[in-house]
Structure 1
């Protein structure tokens, strides 16, 4: 599963609970567009180049304090295809060593990111004495985008409709090039991997800013529920969600917003709002979350700072099965 960046997760959860400022809205829109483009490319690669052992996604790499982000890497033999994904809209032209959007020259050269990443990746391979050729591939994912290259370039530039044919050629190359043990280049990458970027400040630094408390309905984004013994019923849209799933997802949302702190029961009870039940909260924390420290809950529970779908990636079937509880009709409200 391709994961959203921490900033993307943070702004998405934040948007459900407070009004974003102009800069936050622009950043969220940019991140959503980029993520959609990356996910769409993942689907195309899975369809036309079903060689998962040769593909790595969403890498944060460091070499001598220089950090790069790689959208996708495909390695065939001793050739590493370094792929940068853009989900831009509009009309773009490259000429006179500069990129233009319409008639306006872009201050930031679109090639700059992939060129820098190529230099750092080459250093990473060279440090492990791997003789790798790096080929830079820039892919524009929006079907309506217009791209025109008016001078010779070393990078390969593709529009989304050209990607399938390009991947089919790569599939043929797998049979032609001698195989380099994946362990060699994967080990080089692994040694340079960084954990996902997480900023120093979380929502606790937002002085004077308030959050909507409660459990957010995943369907209508409202916060009014009727609580039953095993499930919650949204008073606004009628959506039904198992109580256990609702609590765990909300705990994860709190963890994203307050990523620099442990999960503490007292603060989580406030965050859950009026629908929150302290006894049930305590039960779910003990069941699904890891205590920090040897003995007591006074130190709280470990906070991974990730949304539910990533935090509990390997337990999705269990939580999906919980939805059956919405059919357990009862007259008891808890």
Structure 2
């Protein structure tokens, strides 16, 4: 049972928007690709663990603080007798393991050791749970979720799960007893309450300004800006996707708020942001329906 669903990281949402509205450098493109690929791997993992028939609790994307350190858990499984934090990696291609480090075969470049990340999670989570009176054992696993990932000289470490081993991992969980009690619910609620909701952006984002971004409503499928309005629908001339005009305006408002959280939202601002494709009266209707108005007359804005 998923008690906490996975959401797209703020960094990914911002970079996707910037990728549509400005020219990212090669390094920024790589950064965007890495975050996107990581999220896709986590979503794939979610789809796989839905095969579990056991009565377990699943919490995704937990951000916790323990011993003055913040740490993230990609997925946490709570079973009857075990807490299982899962570190998920979506690396693709050939790598090798040497001197307790991971390297890409093509470049011989060292990557951050995910086993060290997993060990840190286990240590901090143990401290956190003991502080709150929970003594269930913790055993974390590192999941390489991509089917085309290969690790030469792989360590004989039972905590490392490769894609072909995933079904066996799930079967082992299903074999365990699954009688959850109120104590397990209390544990899950503790973790949910302790989750840091406003995630700090850990990635350095590109520098951008409003005047330098491309304006307009883009397609929510192919991201083209070639849009036409017809009969309360907005049509993408490139892929033919249809979207309700009000929904498209609302999506554009949320995108602007994401990029510029301190900007005051007004009818004129959104009219400019949408590049005049939608009438001001339509924008006003969307804003009045979905946001709270503050101020009066020409000083009115929406929150």
TM-score normalised to structure 2 length: 0.86
Aligned match of 1:197 in 196, 199, 223?
Answer: 199
Q: CA 1:162–1:281 in structure 2 vs 1: closer, same or farther (change >3 Å)?
A: same
In the TM superposition, residue 292 of structure 1 has moved relative to its aligned partner by 5.7
**Cα contact 2:143–2:161 (8 A) shared by 1:** yes
SS of structure 1 residue aligned to 2:37: helix
Cα 1:115–1:173 change in 2 (3 A) is: same
1:6-85 to 2 correspondences below 5 Å: 6-49=10-53, 51=55, 54-85=57-88
Q: Aligned equivalents of 2:205 and 2:300: distance in 1?
A: 20
Larger mean CA deviation between 101-110 and 42-51 belongs to 101-110
Deviation at 1:180, TM superposition (A): 6.5
Provide the C-alpha distance between the structure 2 equivalents of 1:116 and 1:287, rounded to a whole number of angstroms: 46
Indicate the residue corresponding to 1:250 in structure 2.
252
- The answer as to whether partners of 2:11 and 2:203 remain within 8 angstroms in 1 is no
Q: More deviation in 127-136 or 104-113? A: 104-113
Displacement of 1:253 in angstroms is 1.5
Match of 2:9 in 1: 5
Counterpart in the other structure of 2:99:
96
Gaps of 5+ in 2: none
Partner residue, 2:121: 117
The RMSD of aligned alpha carbons is: 3.0
Distance change >3 Å, CA 235–CA 180, structure 1 → 2 = closer
Kindly state the Cα deviation for residue 182 of structure 1 after the two structures are TM-superposed.
2.2
Higher fraction of helix? 1
Secondary structure, counterpart of 1:134 in structure 2 = coil
- Residue-pair matches, total: 298
- The verdict on how the C-alpha distance between 1:125 and 1:148 changes in structure 2, with shifts beyond 3 A counting, is farther
Cα distance between partner residues in 2 of 1:205 and 1:144: 34
Contact map agreement 1:262 1:300 (CA 8 A) in 2: yes
The Cα shift of 1:5 comes to 0.6
Q: Distance in 1 between matches of 2:204 and 2:216?
A: 19
Counterpart of 1:181 in 2: which secondary structure?
A: helix
Residue in 2 that maps onto 1:265: 267
Aligned position for 2:136: 132
What SS does the aligned partner of 2:302 have? Answer: coil
Q: Distance in 2 between matches of 1:298 and 1:72?
A: 46
Unaligned segments of structure 1, at least 5 residues: 303-334
Deviations 1:245-275 (A, max 9, x none): 1111111211221134453333222101120
Is this contact kept in 1: 2:103–2:111, CA < 8 A?
A: no
Per-residue deviation at 1:226? 2.9
What is the alpha-carbon distance in structure 2 between the residues aligned to residue 149 and residue 121 of structure 1?
30
Deviating more after overlay: 93-102 vs 36-45: 93-102
Q: TM-score, normalised by structure 1?
A: 0.79
Report SS of the residue matched to 2:139: strand
Residues 207 and 256 of structure 1, relative CA distance in 2, 3 Å threshold: closer
* Partner Cα distance (1:167, 1:281) in 2: 49
